[in-house]
Chains A and B, each alone.
Chain A
Amino acid sequence: MTTAYAVCGMLAVVFAVAALFQRTLYGAAMCLLGVLLETAALFVLVGAPMLGFLQVLVYAGAVMVLIVIAILSSPPRLAERWADDSFPRWCAWLAPAALLGALIACGPSLCAAPSPLPAAGRALELGMARLFFGPWALAVETVGVLVLVASLSVLREET
């Protein structure tokens, strides 16, 4: 299970670095989709399948659709101008260099002290549900109002 976690985590990092190297925003958005799906897999692997499901539903579904619509809705003239030509390409290599440095720095910790993945289980999700309908109800309502207000911001002002 830890190996699967390592593979998914490294894939998430690879997708993130690949997004940095993309010239077009559409390619970067597709790489972001890969990161989001791998994140959902990480959630499932630690025993939180509901969070993984919501990650796919909210992020990889709704948010990605919004981002792609925002990219595609730009006029062609603007889309050309928004293509990333001013980006210093060598700076993008800092990301894999930083990743390599992190791997070297964490290498002893990664290999020396084996520890299993945590397994959350159903009890934790039930505890989360109790929190939402109990002491955290005000926070949940606040976030709900925030999402509602955010969705109202999409409406175009006609006056």
Chain B
Amino acid sequence: MNADALAWTCASAVFAVGTGFLVLRRQLVAMVIGVELMVNAANILLVFHAARRGDPEGFAAALLVLAAAAAEVVVGLTLILAVRRGESESPETGHLRGLAG
């Protein structure tokens, strides 16, 4: 079995599903989950090809991507909680109600 084709197939399928999450779902948390899937797909390929080429820079980049994605999730979920808090306190002024599904 060709490991390269296998890695590309799995990563592209996960990336496609993440894109589907981002496009099809209208909930903010689901959008965050979709972005996480896409970042994971990119990381799978990054680590695979770093190992294939024997390149430590690929591993380092994957680790930095992991940390940056964690920070992005924290900011995104904080924004979502702030929006929800605003909606629960004053339902008539929920600016992002259209994204709530």
Residues of A within 8 A of B (CB): 2-3, 5-6, 9-10, 12-13, 16-17, 19-20, 25, 28-29, 32, 35-36, 39, 42-43, 46-48, 51, 54-55, 58-59, 62-63, 66-67, 69-71, 73-75, 77-78, 81-88, 91-92, 94-95, 98-99, 102-103, 106, 109-120, 124-128, 130-132, 136, 139-140, 143-144, 146-147, 149-151, 153-154
9 A-B pairs with the lowest CB-CB distances in the bound complex, closest first: A127-B56, A9-B10, A150-B71, A109-B5, A118-B51, A16-B17, A120-B51, A118-B52, A46-B51
Q: Is the CB of A32 within 8 A of B33?
A: yes
A-B contact count (CB 8 A): 232
Bound complex: CA of A143 vs CA of B44, how far in Å? 20
Given A5-B3, A28-B30, A118-B54, output 10 extra A-B contacts at Cβ < 8 Å: A9-B10, A16-B17, A48-B50, A51-B59, A75-B88, A78-B87, A82-B29, A94-B20, A132-B60, A136-B60
- Contact B88–A35 (Cβ < 8 Å): no
Q: Are A35 and B2 in touch, CB under 8 angstroms?
A: no
* Residues on the A chain within 8 Å of B27, using CB: 25, 82, 84
Do A5 and B80 form a contact, CB below 8 Å, given A63-B70, A150-B74? no
